[in-house]
Amino acid sequence: MRKALIGLLLTGWGAAATAEPVVIAALGDSLTQGYGLVQDQGFVPQLQRWLVAEGAEVTLINAGVSGDTTAGGAARVAWTLTPEVDAMIVALGGNDLLRGIAPEVARGNLATILTEAQQAGVEVLLIGMQAPGNYGAEYKAAFDAIYPELAAQYGALFAPSFFAGLAAEGDPSAVSGLMQGDGIHPNAEGVARIVAALGPHVLDLIRSAEE
């Protein structure tokens, strides 16, 4: 939407605006960046191909940084939201969990990201992350609640889990075959299943950005 408004201002209200692809920045960590995979098999390239196959006119920007926490995302979101960006996928929190960062700290960082996007007029798809049970029930409840609550507060679209496409397998042994050797990052087939599950949410994001 904001790009269309800029185009109208530049070309004049009476001139027909030229349709352009929706530009989406994918702000995330190694899962977004494509850790351990050849470039065209990472999350962003596979998602780009999936969306195009669905008929979407879209360009994805890989704003994933391996090892990034929500604090890192908050620190770089302002320069990620360049004028051509219409929408943003936010997939952060896994490294906060690995470091045992307090849920209220992660919440504050994600709120900063969503505030920056809101002020820039950029639509957001917030992808949830769930804490493992061994962190304790209190920690898990506090962390898991961050994502749906912030999505509701800021009017962002919400996808419950980055790994929903893998969980659908229902068989732990099958899921292990979709992961790289470290057991943390998906392999190319795992990414394909993640993309298939998240793709419809991104199509919703594109429609929201076009309104």
The one catalytic residue in 30, 68, 86, 96 is 30
Number of domains composing the chain = 1
Q: What is the pLDDT of residues 24-42, one digit of tens each?
A: 999 999 999 999 999 999 9
Say which CATH number the domain at 171 has: 3.40.50.1110
With respect to residue 131, please indicate whether it lies within any of the assigned structural domains.
yes
In a domain, 49, yes or no: yes
Full domain range(s) for residue 101: 19-210
Is residue 76, in this structure, part of any structural domain at all? yes
Is 184 contained in some domain? Answer: yes
- Rg from Cα positions in the chain: 17
Question: What angle do helix axes 103-120 and 70-80 make, rounded to 10 degrees?
Answer: 10
DSSP, collapsed to helix, strand or coil, labels residue 181 as coil
166-200 per-position pLDDT tens digit = 976 556 667 888 999 998 999 999 999 999 999 99
Q: Has residue 1 been placed in a domain?
A: no
Q: How confident is the model at residue 1 (pLDDT cuts 50, 70, 90)?
A: low
Task: Give, in order, the Cα–Cα distances in Å from 104 to each of 48, 58, 146, 176.
Answer: 33, 34, 8, 31
User: Per the residue annotation, which of 86, 96, 185, 208 is the catalytic one?
Assistant: 185
Against a cut of 0.85, is the pTM above it? yes
The predicted model gives 131-139 an average pLDDT of 94
Is 30 an annotated catalytic residue?
Answer: yes
How remote is the C-alpha of 179 from its chain's centroid? Answer: 19
185 is catalytic: yes
- Active-site residue, 171 included: no
